[in-house]
């Protein structure tokens, strides 16, 4: 049975979050729906899904949360995002555990970390 990781969150501003993940970060849309107050968009992020919803139906987790996405070349991604005017919270740097990481903030202030593993 195939499994895919989903990170789901209710955005404070649904439209801003969808623009951020879709246009600013360039994540492809897998699926979206609009049922009035219940809207959602699922974005592909490597082997997982980032799902932005307008109503989490009272299912909420802890406030400290973020999205982490592994990419082939975090330096190239940072250059592309900067060229498109996307603000970078923490530029790409080598981390003590061996990865190169860059951090952005989405419209809700959640950390979006992109990293490249060594090798």
Q: What architecture is domain 6-57+64-116?
A: Roll (3.10)
Name the average pLDDT for the chain.
87
pLDDT tens digit sequence for 54-93: 876 555 455 556 788 889 999 999 999 999 999 999 999 9
Residues near 108 by beta carbon (within 8 Å), at least 6 away in sequence: 9, 11, 12, 13, 17
CA atoms of 55 and 76, how far apart (whole Å): 35
Pick the more confident residue, 12 or 5. 12
């Amino acid at each position: 049975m195939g499994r895919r990781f989903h990170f789901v969150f209710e955005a404070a501003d649904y439209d801003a979050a969808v623009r951020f993940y879709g246009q600013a970060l360039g994540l492809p849309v897998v699926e979206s729906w609009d049922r009035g107050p219940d809207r959602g968009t699922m974005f592909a992020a490597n082997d997982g899904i980032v799902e932005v919803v307008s109503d989490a139906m009272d299912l909420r987790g802890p406030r400290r949360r973020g999205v982490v996405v592994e990419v082939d070349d975090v330096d190239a991604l940072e250059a592309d995002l900067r060229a498109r005017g996307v603000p970078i919270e923490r530029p790409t740097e080598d981390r003590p555990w061996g990865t190169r990481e860059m951090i952005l903030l989405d419209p809700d202030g959640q950390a979006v970390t992109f990293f490249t593993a060594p090798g």
